[in-house]
Structure 1
Amino acid sequence: MLTNFSNKTDSLLEELEIFDIKYQDYLRRDGRWLIGGFKSIVSINQDPKDNDKQVIRIKMEVFNMLPAAIREDLAQLFRL
């Protein structure tokens, strides 16, 4: 789980859009199950304790289904 201010959430979503471009061949051939692209590996919700923050959760069951090279690249983004 990552907790971020909403402006950081926006930048994370922009980074995930870059991954969609970088790995467009994977998404087209083998990653069609990732409906919505790499944004589908995260869920974003309001922090119940602080309305100014959002909680970003990595859907590990989806993340773990990705090829190792893509997981490693995403792990750097998420700092896992």
Structure 2
Amino acid sequence: MKTTKTGGRQKGTPNRITKELRIVLKNILHSELENIAVYLEKLEPKERLEILVKLMPYALPKIEMVHYKENEPSNYWDD
């Protein structure tokens, strides 16, 4: 049994606190972008690589593997 909504935010209205928090975090991240190179230089090579691997999905699109299907033309690369 569902009850009707009687108060609070209307459905679909963004939460004001969440919106404000996102703005603050976005500003912090934006200011820290200039310092990332300095921070990375201070890390050991292994740590630097681990951080870069974690950041890659945010900068590069994920590549999906392409599979050959039966009866599909195989001369895509021939000109």
Q: What's the TM-score once normalised by structure 1's chain length? A: 0.28
Q: What's the TM-score once normalised by structure 2's chain length? A: 0.28
Computing the radius of gyration over CA atoms, which structure comes out larger, 1 or 2? 2
